[in-house]
């Protein structure tokens, strides 16, 4: 099978799929999605070759979305040792072309294909989909292994994703408790970015800081331990999730102000579905709106948790349709 090989590479998982290059209606080929642990492979090329061997596919080009800064031909995964060269990977896989993009460029492009059924509104402001004409600006911020930040602009009917490393901006505490958390984390890390709190490891950092403030040692924990104990009613774990959601809302609101993304903010990421039982009833929306003189404006901005199972791959399919020459696309005729 020819077409496009898609990859969404994070600090934990490597997701692959196939797509036909159709600019009119980019989509993933049914049953083509496979997910592997990045720790199981020495390189992206090895993981991709494993996928191609399993599927028997023979794509002509690839779009690889990676969780790290793309610098020309090269990208480094922020939360994993892989260093990726587009040209070396292209040669290793026998592809005609590889486009290497930041993972939140793909997450942003996915927004252009999402439908209202693919999101859940946090708060009382609904998203009306893409039915409204005119230019639009959306913010994208998602918590998973790390914290990804991007944006999607629609201008004159075309979509433009913005690649950023906004997850690494400095954490700004908004309560006395958060100031104490910052002091604890500063002693451990020096500079404290939003990702030090708003990620899987960030949830663990937050729980540990709250435990230390209370004079307790929580011992080694994983993010899944904290959510599991929260479901059982553990007060410290519930508090860690509450603070996480509040800080997440504050950071999402700051991003809207920074970008002028009055049309909405989308919340993808592997951690978001796991926190949905608490997110809607937390301080997320209150802190999102609590922006001083801009609070009335923020109250009209939708905040939308993404429930589509593979938004990164969906966005990579949209990018593949943009990158593919017209003579190679299924809609070229």
**Helices 311-323 and 103-111 meet at what angle, rounded to 10?**
90
For residue 77, name the pLDDT band (cuts at 50, 70, 90): confident
Q: What DSSP state is assigned to residue 131? A: G
Element (H, E) at 19: strand 13-19
User: In the numeric block, which tokens belong to residue 122?
Assistant: 């946090």
0.75 exceeded by the pTM?
yes
Q: Do domains 1-102+310-325 and 166-306 have the same CATH topology?
A: no
C-beta separation of 111 from 140 below 8 A = yes
Question: 111-120, 125-134, 235-244 — which is least confidently predicted?
Answer: 125-134
Which residue is it, tokens 């004159």? 156
Which residue is it, tokens 């939140």? 104
Listed residue (264, 197, 207, 214) closest to 237, CA to CA: 207
User: What is the C-alpha to C-alpha distance for residues 53 and 238, in angstroms, rounded to an integer?
Assistant: 44
C-beta separation of 161 from 109 below 8 A = yes
User: What is the C-alpha to C-alpha distance for residues 144 and 8, in angstroms, rounded to an integer?
Assistant: 13
Query: What is the per-residue pLDDT for 27?
Result: 84
Is the pLDDT at 2 greater than 70, yes or no?
A: no
Domain map (residue ranges) of the chain: 1-102+310-325, 166-306
pLDDT, the chain, mean = 92
Q: What is the CATH code for 1-102+310-325?
A: 3.30.420.40
DSSP string for 205-235: HHHHHHHHHTT----S--HHHHHHHHHTT-H
Q: Rounded mean pLDDT of 151-171?
A: 93
Q: Rounded mean pLDDT of 277-297?
A: 96
303 burial (CB, 10 Å; 0-12 / 13-18 / 19+) is buried
pLDDT tens sequence across 203-232: 999 999 999 999 999 999 999 999 999 999
Q: What is the CATH code for 166-306?
A: 3.40.367.20
pLDDT tens sequence across 288-301: 999 999 999 999 99
User: What is the C-alpha to C-alpha distance for residues 106 and 108, in angstroms, rounded to an integer?
Assistant: 5
Is the pLDDT at 26 greater than 50, yes or no?
A: yes
The binding site for ATP comprises 7-12
User: In the numeric block, which tokens belong to residue 76?
Assistant: 């480094």
246 or 12, which is more confident: 246
The binding site comprises 7-12
For residue 131, name the pLDDT band (cuts at 50, 70, 90): confident
Is the pLDDT at 168 greater than 60, yes or no?
A: yes
Is the pLDDT at 323 greater than 50, yes or no?
A: yes
Q: Rounded mean pLDDT of 61-65?
A: 95
For residue 72, name the pLDDT band (cuts at 50, 70, 90): confident
């Amino acid at each position: 099978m020819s077409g496009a090989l898609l990859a969404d590479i994070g600090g934990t998982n490597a997701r692959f799929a196939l797509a036909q290059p159709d600019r009119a209606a980019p989509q993933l080929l049914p049953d083509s999605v496979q997910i592997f642990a990045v720790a199981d492979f020495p390189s992206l090329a090895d993981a991709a070759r494993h996928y191609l061997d399993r599927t028997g596919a023979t794509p002509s080009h690839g779009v690889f979305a990676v969780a790290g800064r793309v610098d020309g031909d090269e990208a480094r995964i922020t939360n994993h040792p892989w260093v990726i060269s587009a040209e070396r990977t292209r040669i290793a896989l026998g592809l005609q072309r590889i486009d290497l993009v930041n993972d939140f460029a793909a997450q942003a492009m996915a927004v252009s294909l999402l439908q209202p059924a693919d999101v859940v509104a946090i708060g009382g402001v609904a998203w009306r989909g893409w039915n409204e004409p005119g230019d639009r600006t959306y913010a994208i911020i998602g918590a998973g292994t790390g914290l990804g930040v991007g944006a999607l602009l629609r201008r004159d009917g075309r979509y433009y994703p913005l690649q950023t490393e906004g997850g690494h901006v400095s954490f700004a505490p908004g309560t006395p408790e958060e100031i104490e958390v910052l002091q604890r984390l500063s002693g451990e890390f020096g500079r404290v970015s939003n990702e030090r709190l708003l990620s899987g490891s960030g949830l663990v950092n937050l729980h540990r800081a709250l435990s230390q403030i209370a004079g307790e040692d929580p011992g080694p924990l994983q993010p899944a331990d904290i959510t599991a104990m929260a479901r059982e009613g553990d007060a410290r774990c519930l508090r860690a999730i509450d603070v996480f959601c509040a800080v997440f809302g504050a950071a999402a609101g700051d991003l809207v102000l920074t970008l002028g993304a009055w049309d909405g903010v989308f919340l993808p990421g592997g951690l978001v579905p796991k926190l949905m039982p608490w997110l809607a009833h937390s301080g997320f929306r209150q802190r999102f709106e609590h922006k001083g003189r801009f609070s009335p404006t923020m109250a009209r901005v939708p905040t939308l948790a993404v429930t589509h199972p593979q938004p990164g791959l969906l966005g990579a399919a949209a990018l593949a349709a943009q990158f593919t020459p017209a003579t190679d696309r299924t809609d070229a005729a």
